[in-house]
Chain A
């Protein structure tokens, strides 16, 4: 029969109890540290996730910290369940104290006088090596604290991330302002553009910059298009004004040499030019009423003609100023500006001479249209095309000739082999990248073309015939 003889009040029994308690305590501490580390990291992740998901400070999650209590309790329970067996502890103390089995025997048998020898039993000291769990637990606590107290804003990067479009917005706004100032667009159109710009600015988000950039690009293109269209109109008006000015100068300088009929037609043509130019209306200036009436009646004096010429110059100057401002605002380029200015240049003396030469041959309007076009040869690019009779083979002589055979070129060749497969398509020397990929300096991209043996005769025939 196994019966426990040991008495709990004996010193060595207390040593056994004390040792077991220390082991349980240290084990519980270690397990608690581990569970704290796991709990801290897990809860920290949960808190961060909830903060990021709900955009709210998770103050109400603070009660989850109470979860550490069951973790510690579980650690203690596990440590108690895994506590060392009393018999093993007794054996260890027996061995360490050199009891020679007496302490172990005391569990089953009374020792009698041997009991006195066991009074000096002492338990060994214990040391817990828990630097790693301690570090992990400390790190988890810091992580958890950070998760609770870190500001919400850095977590929500995508929601309020600004998009810096101030410079682009300012540029477009100044362009619209310029268009409005120069009366290129009407106030309601300008207001519409500004409204679009404001909308693009208000909807600008860092999470979707492409949308904003596309809107701004579209708006910029729209403004540029308006500016370009206005520049085209001004170029046409400048051209009309130039023609009108040249006509005016011609009439004022050589009016005495022109007959009255031609003079009257020229006045009407001048009026027509002025009306056409006024239709474009980009200069923003109109002729004085007496000049308008004179043009209408065809009775402008020489002084009035000079006055008209001056007015037209001023109108051209206004257009040039507008174009200059558009160029300064980089809404049109310098070449466009120069093209517009050149459109307004006209040789008044030349025109007078041309009118005088062609008087009676065509109307003044036709002369104005054809003046400056054509010449000794077929004229410049905008000269009207002239068509003649098609060429004929009549009278031509042809010499009949027998074409050589397609195999004639191969008579000196030597057959070294024949293959039914495609020839080697090595691109030695050809460009490997970029737009000229596959092309060589001397041969172009044809080097990449594969000529199969069955094509060779056809190719030879083609070149031999030439």
Chain B
């Protein structure tokens, strides 16, 4: 696609999108205190049209973040509290037998909460695998098929799911296929004392303020259009490919940690997700092209839930973040391969 264009995004074209993004981030930072980095990366996921899995303890602001995002972006927002007795029809919708005015009875489709722009799947791991699987098609193809009829979901469509890393009794861990459909898995940590003090001082009963500015649909489309034009140079795409390939223990560029602790590496979908996320990071940084640093910034969020580690990793307390760090630091991004006797000096 990029080769067909005559020119890269010019500063004039980029500037309105950057301003919108900065305003969005500003609003998010105003509503949720002390979460700037999280806001940036969630916005990257939105720009990349990806789904986000937020993992964190109760009360750290996961739901508040999603609510605020929905309000700022001016998108339709629905929330589903996942429980063990939640059924797929509770999410997707169901056909109900109804009698029309002329007395004829017919099945009519009653859409579920998934027919929205921004779906908050709260505590997604508490639903049964059957219900969790109901999201598979919706997340990947943005469509729902019921009784042979496929219905498109609204555009844009995002799933922002949350799960609690503790109280795992009675929960159903997300299957790998489900996890793979999330662009990012973000760990939401608690905030420090200073931020807590600001929250207590400025928020009565913890109620977040309403956004003072919301983005219009046209503006959002403008941002998405600009996002589509962010250029991914071939050396960077090559680096993404090498990085994802190196997550497999049999790969030639796999690090020692990968060989030792990884059972299965990331899928091609991860490479696609990494490229999209890198584009998002480049746009947020105000650049029309993706650099190696954008890939590195996105790597942890994209790959951490896609690496399946072996039991040895659990025994040695090695997590996927450590493995991704080893990949980022141990691989020459450019593939220059200078002779070992030639050393580059700054």
Contact = CB atoms under 8 A, between A and B. Distances in A.
B287 A101 contact: yes
A128 B233 contact: no
B267 to A, nearest CB: 25
Nearest to B295: A101
Interface stretch (A91-99, A150-158, A434-442): A91-99
A23 B338 contact: yes
B235 A104 contact: yes
Given A100-B282, A127-B343, A110 B8 contact: yes
Contacts of B5: 109
Contacts of A417: none
Contacts of A1: 3
A181 to B, nearest CB: 82
Interface residues of A, number: 40
B72 interface: no
Contact of A88 (B287, B294, B337, B346): B337
A164 to B, nearest CB: 55
Given A90-B235, A114-B11, A125 B344 contact: yes
A118 to B, nearest CB: 11
B289 A105 contact: yes
Q: Tell me if B's interface is mostly helix, strand, loop or mixed.
A: loop
Interface string B310-346: 0000000000000000000000011111110111111
A133 B341 CA distance: 10
Contact of A101 (B231, B335, B344): B231
A413 B37 CA distance: 110
Interface string A113-125: 1100000000011
Contacts of B346: 96, 124-125
B336 A104 contact: no
Interface string B206-238: 000000000000000000000000011111100
A105 B334 contact: no
A108 B2 CA distance: 9
Nearest to A1: B3
B293 interface: yes
B292 A95 contact: yes
A101 B2 contact: no
Contacts of A104: 233-236, 289, 291
A30 B344 CA distance: 16
Contact of B231 (A109, A112, A133): A109
A62 B233 CA distance: 56
Contact of B8 (A88, A89, A90, A109): A109
Contacts of A99: 291
Given A101-B289, A105-B231, A114 B334 contact: no
Contacts of A349: none
B343 A88 contact: no
A27 interface: yes
A60 interface: no
A130 interface: yes
Contacts of A107: 233
A111 B12 CA distance: 13
A72 B11 CA distance: 50
B281 to A, nearest CB: 10
A112 B8 contact: yes
Contacts of A133: 341
A91 B341 contact: no
A133 B282 CA distance: 45
Contacts of B343: 126-129
B14 to A, nearest CB: 10
Given A26-B342, A30-B341, A111-B8, A87 B234 contact: yes
A146 interface: no
A102 interface: yes
B36 interface: no
A103 to B, nearest CB: 9
Nearest to B10: A112
A97 to B, nearest CB: 10
Given A112-B7, A113-B11, A114-B8, A88 B344 contact: no
B344 A100 contact: no
Given A95-B292, A105-B233, A127-B343, A100 B3 contact: no
A84 interface: yes
20 contacts: A88-B334, A91-B235, A91-B335, A92-B336, A98-B291, A98-B293, A100-B291, A101-B232, A101-B233, A102-B288, A102-B289, A104-B234, A104-B235, A104-B236, A105-B233, A108-B234, A109-B2, A109-B6, A109-B231, A126-B345
Interface of A: 1-2, 23, 26-27, 30, 82, 84, 87-92, 94-96, 98-102, 104-105, 107-114, 124-130, 133
The 4 closest A-B pairs by CB, nearest first: A101-B289, A104-B233, A91-B235, A100-B291
